[in-house]
Amino acid sequence: MDIEKKAEGIIRLALSEDLGAEGDITTKVVVDEHATGSARLIAKSPMVVCGQRVAARVFELAQPGSQYSAVIEDGGEVSIGEEIGRVTGFIRSILAGERTALNFLCHMSGIATLTRELVKKVSAAGIQIMDTRKTHPGMRDLEKYAVMIGGGQNHRRGLYDGVIIKDNHILAAGGIKRAVRLARNALGGQFPIEVEAGTLDDVWDALDSGASIIMLDNMDPITIKQAVEIIGGRAKVEVSGGVRPDNLQEFLIPGVDAISMGFITMSASAADISLELDAG
């Protein structure tokens, strides 16, 4: 994935809100326009690095005359104090892109780091960790990329590339069976049909309808075990809702194929990275 190309619009927007029409007025008045140097990006917390090509594009666009190179590629794990990247060129250019590049790197690395931690916790159970559509507006491509770098799986990217019949669809259509029938008649086999089930009765209806995936929504572990027994391998099982890093272990139930968590993209703590200038 050429993530920097997908992120071009949000990168330009982020630079615009930071630089405005006047640019970096502080740097303009205190740094000579011909001064050159380099800077190191240093990890201030343990992390899975993510967003290197995005950072490189930030510096390309911030002002001409700077070049960023990754020391640690996306997906690499680093400890406190390790250098993850280096930027060289005009100091004005380096400082113009500093904050925006760090914002992307810290946010994306935070998501990748959390995802890697969760994936390690579930690996022995053979369960996939998946993201959701709960992403920050304009940041979906970046956040889902970070989940993949951390070892997680992407759920559908939007409403256009997957069928999930949720509670409001069920209500509007007049029931699970009718909603599934309408979807299958209209789309044929173009997409697997996933159905959200909030109760065991919903599970039975989803099975009777021939759903490919049944999402057990906001069920407690005891109810999930009962649902898995009912499904008996006749559909893929996804658990969603109420799962957090601190209670994840309770949901590692045999027969569950995937756990989807909006927490990964919406609530991951940002990694801590600083830029240290060497004026040279």
Does the annotation count 144 as an active-site position?
no
Contacts of residue 70, defined as CB under 8 A and 6 or more positions apart, other chains included, come to 49, 52, 53, 56, 84, 85
The band of 279, judged by pLDDT with boundaries at 50, 70 and 90, is: low
> Which pLDDT does position 280 carry in this prediction?
58
5 is catalytic: no
> Do residues 261 and 126 both lie within one domain?
yes
Among 133, 130, 127, which Cα is nearest to 228's? 127
In this structure, are 194 and 274 located in the same domain? no
Amino acid at site 189: G
Percent of all residues in the chain with a pLDDT value above 90, rounded to a whole number: 96
Q: Respond yes or no: is residue 177 known to be catalytic.
A: no
% of the chain residues with pLDDT over 70: 99
40 shares its domain with 143 = no
* CATH code of 169's domain: 3.20.20.70
Distance CA 102, CA 64 (A): 18
Q: What mean pLDDT do residues 78-90 have?
A: 97
> Per the residue annotation, which of 98, 194, 217, 238 is the catalytic one?
217
The string of pLDDT tens digits covering residues 241-268 is 999 999 999 999 999 999 999 999 999 9
- Which residue of the set 157, 166, 225, 236 is catalytic? 166
Please state the φ and ψ torsions of residue 44, each to the nearest 5 degrees: -105, 0
99 among known catalytic residues: yes
Position 263 scores a pLDDT of: 94
Catalytically annotated residue among 74, 196, 202, 205: 196
Residue 201 — pLDDT band, cuts 50, 70, 90? Answer: very high
Give the 3-state secondary structure of residue 172: helix
The string of pLDDT tens digits covering residues 205-216 is 999 999 999 999
Over the stretch 38-60, which tens digit does the pLDDT of each residue have? Answer: 999 999 999 999 999 999 999 99
**Residues in CB range of 269: below 8 A, 6 or more apart:** 110, 114
pLDDT at 63: 84
Q: Strand 83-90's sheet: what is its strand order?
A: 66-70, 83-90, 36-43, 273-278
Our count of domains for the chain comes to 2
Region 101-124 average pLDDT = 98
* CA count, 13 A, side-chain hemisphere, 150: 33
Does residue 230 sit in the same domain as residue 152? yes
Phi, psi of 110 (to 5 degrees): -65, -45
Average pLDDT for the chain = 96
Structural domain containing residue 66: 3-112+269-278
184 among known catalytic residues: no
Asked if 150 and 37 sit in the same domain, the reply is no
Can you tell me the distance from the alpha carbon of 130 to that of 33, in angstroms, rounded to the nearest whole number? 47
- The CATH number covering residue 51 comes to 3.90.1170.20
Among the residues of the chain, which ranges form H helices?
Answer: 3-6, 8-19, 25-30, 52-62, 91-122, 140-149, 167-173, 176-187, 200-209, 221-231, 263-267
Could you say which of 6, 40, 99, 177 is catalytic? 99
Q: Of the residues 133, 134, 157, 236, which is catalytic?
A: 134
